[in-house]
Amino acid sequence: MNWTTEQILGLAPDQFTLRAGRGLAEPQKWIALHHADDTVWGIHPNGRNQTTETAVYLPTFSYLCTCNSRKAPCRHSLALLQLWQQHAHKFTPQPPNRRLATWAKREQIKQQRPNGRSQPHNLPQLKTGLDALELWLLDMVRHGLARLPERPQAYWDTMAHRLVDTQALPLAQTVRHLAQLPKTQPDWPEQTLQEIGRLYLIIQGFRQFEQLPATTQADLQTAVGWLPTSTENPPISDNWLVLGRQQEPAGSQTRHTTWLWGQETQITAQLIDLSRSAVPEGSWLPSGSAWRGALQFAPSGWPQIAVRHGQLQAIAAPAIAPVGFASIRTATQAYGRSLAANPWLAHFPMLLPNVQPKPTESGWQLEDPSGTWLPLPDKFSHGWHLLALAGGRFDLTIFGVWNGRCLTPFTVHAQQTWQDILIWRGAK
C-alpha cells in the first residue's frame, strides 16, 4: 500500500473522526493486530470488557467495523489503515474469526460481478408530494416574497418533512436552504426566485414524465435524489484518478460522493453511495489515489453519474496529470452547455489549473491570470492557507464543484500531491 498519511486522513468524514483516528494509530492501544491473505484486522478495547473488531480488505480497501459509530469511515478504520501503512511489521499472521472471514469472502465475490443498485422508487407517492409542493410555492408567491423573513421555522420544516416522506431529499434540502436565505444573503429575493423556478421546473417535468425521453426521465429522477439503478450504456474501462470526495447527511442515510477522472478517456465521473447501517462499512477511494476498472454511466442529457462495473482495483499511482479547463471562462461556458442539456444539474465539476485565491470585501474568490474569477463559499475558512500555497503566483490546480453561485473546492494539487481541503483545520 503506497498511500500517504494525508490520503488516509483525507477519508475522514469530519475533524472529530480525523483527530480520533490519528490518536488511535498507535500499536500499543490495540489488543491485537493481524493479517491473513488479503485482509488486515485488529481488536481495540471498548471499555467494560468489550472490544471493537475492525477489518480492511486490501484489494478494494473495503472496510468493516463493529463499533456503534455512524461515521463512515469510523475512527477505528482510519487508525487500522494508518497502522498497516506505518507499522506493518506489528501485524502477525492469523486468520480472522468467522464473522470477518465471511465478510472478506463476500468482498472477494463482489469483485467478480457488476455493482448495481437496488433502490425502491414510488412514483405515485412522489407526485403527491410534488402536488403539495406546487400549492405551497404558489401560495408563497401569491403572498409575496417580502413576508418570507417573518415566516416561522415550522412553515419551512412542515414542507421539508413532507418531501422527506416522499423520498425527495434534495428538494427537502432546497426548502431548508430557502429558509436560510433571508437571514444570510443580501440578494436573497433573487436567489429565492431562482430556487423557486428550479423547483417548479422539476414539478412540471414530472407531470409529463411518461412522455419524456429516457435521458430526461433519468435526469429528473436524479434531481429528486433517486440514484440510477441500472444503465444500458456500455462500461468504460480506464485508469481513474480520484479528484475529490464529499460526505453529507441524506435523511437517515449518509451520501458519499467521489469524483473520478479518466486518464485515457479524459472524462469525469461521479460515484454516489448511500449508507445507513449502524455498522460502518464501505470502500475507500482516497483523493489522489488511482484505480483500474470499468464504470457504467447512467442515462443523462449530460452523463456524469456512474456506477462501478465490477470492483475497482488499486494501482500504483502513475504520473496522471488530468487536463482541466483552460480558463475559468472556458469552465463557465461548459457549465452553460451542461445546463442546456440537463436543466436540473445541481453540481458541475471544475478542474481549474493556474489559479490562486484572492480576498475581497465580499469574501474569497478564485482568480485566473486573465482576471476572471469565481466566488468561493461564504465564510470560506481556508483562503489564507491556499494563498500561502500559491505563494503569490497562479500556480495552484484546484478541483471543486460549481452550483451556479459559488465554487466549493475539494482538493488542491500543490507540491506534487493532491491535498484534501475539507479536512484542513477549520473545516466547517
The separation between the first and the last C-alpha atoms of the chain, rounded to the nearest angstrom, is 30
Q: Could you tell me if residue 85 is inside a domain?
A: yes
Burial of 267 (0-12, 13-18, 19+ CB in 10 A): middle
Q: How many CA atoms lie within 13 A of 414 on its CB side?
A: 21
pLDDT of 423: 75
262 plus 311 within the same structural domain: yes
Residue type, 195: E
Q: How far apart are CA 341 and CA 196, in angstroms?
A: 20
244 plus 339 within the same structural domain: no
Q: Could you tell me if residue 231 is inside a domain?
A: no
Return the residue matching grid coordinates 477511494: 285
Its domain, for residue 367, covers 328-423
Q: Which of 315, 347, 380 is the last residue of a domain?
A: 315
300 plus 273 within the same structural domain: yes
333 plus 258 within the same structural domain: no
Do 145 and 161 meet the contact criterion of CB atoms below 8 Å apart? Answer: no
Do 136 and 163 meet the contact criterion of CB atoms below 8 Å apart? Answer: no
Alpha helices in 208-300 (DSSP H): 214-223
246 plus 212 within the same structural domain: no
Q: Which of 80, 110, 140 is the last residue of a domain?
A: 110
pLDDT of 87: 92
276 plus 340 within the same structural domain: no
35 plus 106 within the same structural domain: yes
Q: How far apart are CA 65 and CA 52, in angstroms?
A: 7
216 plus 181 within the same structural domain: yes
Average confidence (pLDDT) per 10 residues, the chain, 428 residues = 77 83 92 89 84 85 81 87 91 86 76 50 87 95 91 93 88 93 90 93 92 91 81 87 82 78 92 63 76 91 89 75 91 96 93 94 93 92 91 91 93 85 61
Q: Could you tell me if residue 323 is inside a domain?
A: no
Of 366, 367, 347, 352, whose CA–CA distance to 399 is shortest?
A: 352
Q: How far apart are CA 179 and CA 161, in angstroms?
A: 14
Which residues are 400's β-sheet partners? 350, 409
For residue 1, the SS3 value is coil
Q: Could you tell me if residue 228 is inside a domain?
A: no
Q: How far apart are CA 396 and CA 8, in angstroms?
A: 22
23 plus 96 within the same structural domain: yes
Q: Which of 110, 134, 164 is the last residue of a domain?
A: 110
Q: C-alpha grid cell for residue 75? A: 475512527
Q: How far apart are CA 30 and CA 21, in angstroms?
A: 13
For residue 338, the SS3 value is helix
Which residues are 64's β-sheet partners? 55, 281
Q: Could you tell me if residue 115 is inside a domain?
A: no
> Alpha carbon of 216 to those of 133, 197, 205: distances in Å?
21, 18, 9
Which residues are 274's β-sheet partners? 255
70 plus 156 within the same structural domain: no
Q: Could you tell me if residue 219 is inside a domain?
A: yes
Q: Going edge to edge, which strands form the sheet with 62-65?
A: 92-93, 32-36, 39-45, 51-57, 62-65, 281-283
Do 417 and 6 meet the contact criterion of CB atoms below 8 Å apart? Answer: yes
> Alpha carbon of 224 to those of 167, 181, 217, 258: distances in Å?
8, 21, 11, 19
| Overall residue count recorded for the chain in this entry | 428
Q: What is the dihedral of CA 377, 380, 385, 389, to 10 degrees?
A: 10
How many structural domains does the chain have? 4
311 plus 339 within the same structural domain: no
pLDDT of 427: 38
Strand positions, DSSP E, 24-155: 32-36, 39-45, 51-57, 62-65, 92-93
Q: Could you tell me if residue 179 is inside a domain?
A: yes
Which string of DSSP letters, residue by residue, matches 149-199?
A: GG--HHHHHHHHHHHHHTT-HHHHHHHHHHHHHHHH-TTHHHHHHHHHHHH
The DSSP symbol for 362 reads: T
| Dihedral sign computed on CA atoms, order 289, 290, 294, 297 | positive
266 plus 361 within the same structural domain: no
Do 107 and 60 meet the contact criterion of CB atoms below 8 Å apart? Answer: yes
Q: Going edge to edge, which strands form the sheet with 396-402?
A: 373-375, 363-367, 348-360, 396-402, 407-414, 417-420
Q: Could you tell me if residue 343 is inside a domain?
A: yes
